[in-house]
Amino acid sequence: MPSTADDWSTRHSVLTHARRAAALVNALADDHPDPAEVTKVLKAYGEVGTVAVTPRDVAEMRTAAVRLREVFAAADADGAATALNRLLGEYTGPLRLTSHGGDSPWHPHIDRDDDAPWGEWLLASSCLALAVLVWDRQHPPGRICASPSCSDVFINQGSGPDRRYCSRRCATRERVAAHRRQQGSGAAE
């Protein structure tokens, strides 16, 4: 194995897989995503060795990302589960364990095989991680940013109240805009 088990388990935790799903959905949101940018996201979330994604792979991954966005758009656990069940039923294989020929510790997969195309892999691995989060937390695993000027998705896990925005930057931008609207309406009176 190329890395220690601790390093592997950190890179491949359910939460890391879910965050990778959100990052890829965001990276694939453009009409023509750049394969180099998609590769950067894959590397940032633990893909090791040479990662070769072609424009065709990226197109298939973009189709998967569009489908995954339905899970992030769900208003509640029931909606997220319904979207996940539809995706799991239509696009994944049976649950199986793999070690990728001994190159990694045993872990679950629901894509049809270890050499599945990138789009199938993205959909299957993301559905598996997002389903575990719904199961564990009993609410949607993430959401779409509430800022009208942002369409990014994010994982909404952790302590404290549910987040509405994908980042502090979006939250601050909306807070400042609301303050300016309030100041403007006060000055007009």
Query: pLDDT digit string (tens) for 117-161?
Result: 999 999 999 999 999 999 999 999 999 999 999 999 999 977 778
| Of 3-7, 58-62, 102-106, 153-157, minimum mean pLDDT range | 3-7
* Cβ neighbours of residue 61 closer than 8 Å, sequence gap 6 or more: 24, 28, 33, 38, 53, 118, 119, 122
Torsion on CA atoms 96, 93, 12, 75, rounded to nearest 10: -130
Per residue in 96-108, pLDDT (tens digit) is 999 888 888 888 9
Split at pLDDT 50, 70, 90, the class of 4 is: very low
Q: 51: Cβ–Cβ under 8 A, 6 or more apart, which residues?
A: 39, 42, 43
User: To which residue do tokens 């199938």 refer?
Assistant: 120
pLDDT tier, 186 (very low <50, low <70, confident <90, very high otherwise): low
**CA 3/CA 38 separation, integer angstroms:** 23
Average pLDDT over residues 83-101: 93
State the pLDDT at residue 1: 33
> Crossing angle of helices 118-137/77-91, nearest 10°?
150
Has residue 49 got a pLDDT over 90? Answer: no
Greater model confidence, 104 or 92 = 92
Q: Is the pTM of this model over 0.75?
A: yes
Q: Name the E strands within the chain.
A: 96-98, 107-109, 142-144, 153-155
